[in-house]
Amino acid sequence: MDTESLLKEFYKRYGETGGKPGIFFSPGRVNLIGEHTDYNGGYVFPCALSYGTYLAARITGTKSVKFASVNFDFTAEIPLDKLTKKVGNEWVNYPLGVVDEFSKIGVEITGGIDLLFSGNIPDGSGLSSSASIETVTGFFINKVFGNSQLNLIELAKLCQRAENNFVGVNCGIMDQFAVSVGKVNHAIFLNCDTLDYELVPLKLEELK
């Protein structure tokens, strides 16, 4: 879904009153070398993809946050004082986990928001759709409510904590790091223990 189609879907769900939403994007990732070594503190060599997750987000005058996705039927409207509570096993726990981790460092959602997510990462592909959802949420909160206080590495670590602590998945840092720090036409040689990394030029051209 392109951004124009995303905006049309956003207005269809939430209406045009309130103005145009901000658009944010976070890619998926593929790991070229180093499977199952990230959570052991080893070396990995991932790169970000053109596939990923878009987020349309608009501040409202309400006291709740509305979650919707083009990819999932489940929607939720959650009061501001309930944003750190898990919702069953639903997809909204990935962005909610990010909200929870921001609250722990003093960054609070202080007003209502309409959110619409749209991803084109194939289901079950192993291309880190969950990290992409977390990170695009993090980009939005960090900019709008956090005054951009976190750098990309700090944001990746926060999103990893969200998946570990809130969602309950004991993942390593690679996925969130790759989708946060990834750069066009580059792979990332990453030490998952120290988080030292090098951006390595890499052109995959039309590889699929």
How far apart, in whole angstroms, are the C-alpha atoms of residue 49 and residue 129?
A: 11
pLDDT of amino acid 124: 76
Query: How close are the terminal C-alpha atoms of the chain, in Å?
Result: 19
pLDDT of amino acid 180: 98
Domain range summary for the chain, segments of one domain joined by +: 3-28+52-184
**Neighbour tally for 29: CB within 10 Å:** 31
pTM of the predicted model, to two decimals? 0.94
pLDDT of amino acid 39: 84
pLDDT in tens, 74-100: 999 999 999 999 999 999 999 999 999
43: left (phi over 0), alpha (psi -120 to 50) or beta: beta
Q: Residue 176: what residue type?
A: Q
Closest CA to 199 of 185, 187, 207: 187
Half-sphere exposure at residue 81, Cβ-oriented, CA atoms within 13 angstroms: 0
Task: Enter the CATH code of domain 3-28+52-184.
Answer: 3.30.230.10
> Which of 2, 175, 193, 196 is flagged as catalytic?
175
> What phi, psi does 7 have (nearest 5°)?
-65, -40
Which residues are CB-contacts of 79 (< 8 A; sequence separation ≥ 6)? 63, 64
How far apart, in whole angstroms, are the C-alpha atoms of residue 182 and residue 199?
A: 8
Which residues are CB-contacts of 204 (< 8 A; sequence separation ≥ 6)? 47
Are the C-beta atoms of 25 and 52 separated by less than 8 Å? yes
Spans of the chain below 70 pLDDT = 205-208
Looking up tokens 């878009």, which residue turns up? 54
Locate 16 and state its tokens: 């045009």
How far apart, in whole angstroms, are the C-alpha atoms of residue 63 and residue 52?
A: 29
pLDDT of amino acid 73: 96
Catalytic site residue 196? no
pLDDT of amino acid 207: 58
pLDDT of amino acid 208: 57
**Neighbour tally for 37: CB within 10 Å:** 15
DSSP letter, residue 115: E
